[in-house]
Amino acid sequence: MTPSPVDHVEIHPLLAAALDQLPAMVEVRRRLHRIPEVGLQLPLTQQVVMDALRDLGLEPRPGGTTTAVTAVIEGVHPGPTILLRADMDGLPLREDTGLDFASTHPDAMHACGHDTHMTMLLGAARLLLDRRDRLAGRVLLMFQPGEEGFHGARFMLDEGLLVDGPHGAAGVERAFALHISTRYPTGTIGLRPGSMMASSDTIRATIKGRGGHASAPHIALDPITVAAELVLALQVAVTRSIDVFDPAVLTIGKIAGGTTNNIIPESVEIQGTMRAVSAATRDTLHALVRRVAEGVVAAHGAEIDLEIIHGYPVLVNDVEVAGWVEDLARTLLGPDAVERFASPIMGAEDFSYVTEAVPAVMAFVGAALPGSDPATVAQNHSNRVVFHEQAMAAGAALYAAAALDFLHGTTDAADATDATDAEAGDA
């Protein structure tokens, strides 16, 4: 189903309604912020989400092998399903923000804003439940653990997220996710059609030489010099083998080997990350790393145990869906509130598994504190990052606007106008 354009007169009052419920959203967000959990098992977080959904009159459904949560909002008319997603997990960081609602868990923090993501989706659910009579179809709410490197979205898909059953719903024809960021002004939306975020894969390798005395390297086989040459060779290979208009990044972030200054070690460990913004370049990069690593090491008579660990695929925004979200955001937040990114972001996101399965889009919602400088402000994954909570109103309203527009049902323009006028008075 491709929905026809509808009169968006109800969307501005949606933002007003979201702002009206912002104090309640802030309370939920701060409760979640205090109890960050890492990975796929988030029992405290899951309980808060499930309690909030029950308070809305919904029936939350826990995941099978993880602490995922799903819930379905049924419209009053039949139709397709739209999926709205929020991730739930924190990061293994010690918070240093000075906030009076800072993490109570010493080695965990919501440093990527997933507490705000859950809150925005819960806020959107309330907005949608107040407008169920305009929904022709279903809204599948996806609360996902394990985004930070644990493949949580893949677990949910494997358990049946996109089929009718205890962990999902069938008929999903469109999916939408938001991600908060301090890099952009509060309440603005940033996205792009096509490749939005990079793939992320890990290199792990052990270079094996022959240990010996540092004064006689000709008798030993020094793995440190081989590792040093390999790091440089990989950087040169990427610049000479990858199309600059379909880019890739390869960074070696760890070299470990040796015990003291006068001993040549037996082996050296290296670790790194690879990023690409197309599946083709990702495959090329994998083959390139293997070829260069094996060649450099063989040239010195050493050996290598090389492992390439597949991480998240490229997150590709559906072109049609991205344009649709742009139009909704401009109508909701103003024509200057939307930025189309010129290039992909080299970070990775496991919502990419969803974008591979259904037409979908991820967008960023700005949450910079007033007066902050995006060039110097603490950003996502910093233990000092602070998000402007007012941005949650824009996110909740945009989530709700997407569902209302896609599942617009039989409501005609006159009915929509009447309903909107009433909402504007209430707000």
| Amino acid present at 175 | A
How far is it, in rounded angstroms, from Cα 69 to Cα 21? 23
* CA atoms within 13 A of residue 411's CA, in its CB half-sphere: 28
Candidates 244, 294, 252; CA nearest to 270 is 252
Q: What is the CA radius of gyration of the chain?
A: 24
Question: Does the active-site annotation cover 389?
Answer: yes
Q: What is the pLDDT confidence band of residue 375, given thresholds at 50, 70 and 90?
A: confident
Q: How many CB atoms lie within 10 A of CB 289?
A: 22
Model confidence pLDDT, tens digit, residues 24-50: 999 999 999 999 999 999 999 999 999
Q: What is the pLDDT confidence band of residue 409, given thresholds at 50, 70 and 90?
A: low
Model confidence pLDDT, tens digit, residues 341-361: 999 999 999 999 999 999 999
Contact indicator for 68, 152 with CB cutoff of 8 Å = yes
Query: Which DSSP category does 210 fall into?
Result: B
Share of the chain above pLDDT 70, in %: 93
- Average pLDDT for residues 315-331, to the nearest whole number? 97
How far is it, in rounded angstroms, from Cα 36 to Cα 106? 10
3-class secondary structure, 343 = coil
CA quadruple 345, 92, 105, 382: dihedral sign: negative
| Amino acid present at 86 | A
* CA atoms within 13 A of residue 25's CA, in its CB half-sphere: 29
- Average pLDDT for residues 260-274, to the nearest whole number? 98
Query: Which DSSP category does 389 fall into?
Result: T
pTM for this predicted structure: 0.90
- Average pLDDT for residues 321-345, to the nearest whole number? 96
Per-residue pLDDT at 35: 98
Q: How many CB atoms lie within 10 A of CB 249?
A: 15
Contact indicator for 203, 271 with CB cutoff of 8 Å = yes
**Assigned token pair, 361:** 């889009």
Contact indicator for 167, 142 with CB cutoff of 8 Å = no
Walk me through the domains of the chain, giving residue ranges and CATH numbers.
11-196+314-426 (3.40.630.10), 199-309 (3.30.70.360)
- Taking 3-state DSSP, the helix, strand and coil percentages for the chain, each rounded to the nearest 5, stand at 35, 25, 40
How far is it, in rounded angstroms, from Cα 372 to Cα 374? 6
- Average pLDDT for residues 127-134, to the nearest whole number? 96
Model confidence pLDDT, tens digit, residues 227-266: 999 999 999 999 999 999 999 999 999 999 999 999 999 9
Per-residue pLDDT at 374: 81
- Average pLDDT for residues 98-121, to the nearest whole number? 98
Task: Single out the catalytic residue among 312, 339, 349, 399.
Answer: 312
Question: Does the active-site annotation cover 399?
Answer: no
Task: Single out the catalytic residue among 159, 389, 399, 423.
Answer: 389
How far is it, in rounded angstroms, from Cα 4 to Cα 43? 41
How far is it, in rounded angstroms, from Cα 329 to Cα 326? 5
Q: What is the pLDDT confidence band of residue 421, given thresholds at 50, 70 and 90?
A: very low
Contact indicator for 415, 423 with CB cutoff of 8 Å = no
3-class secondary structure, 83 = strand
b/e map of 193-205 (b: 16 or more CB within 10 Å)? bebbbbbbbebeb
Over 80: is that where the pLDDT of 189 sits? Answer: yes
- Average pLDDT for residues 101-112, to the nearest whole number? 97
| The residue to which tokens 């909701």 are assigned | 332
Q: Which helix (H) or strand (E) holds 69?
A: strand 69-74
| Amino acid present at 312 | Y
3-class secondary structure, 75 = coil
How far is it, in rounded angstroms, from Cα 173 to Cα 198? 24
DSSP string, 129-141: HTTGGG-EEEEEE
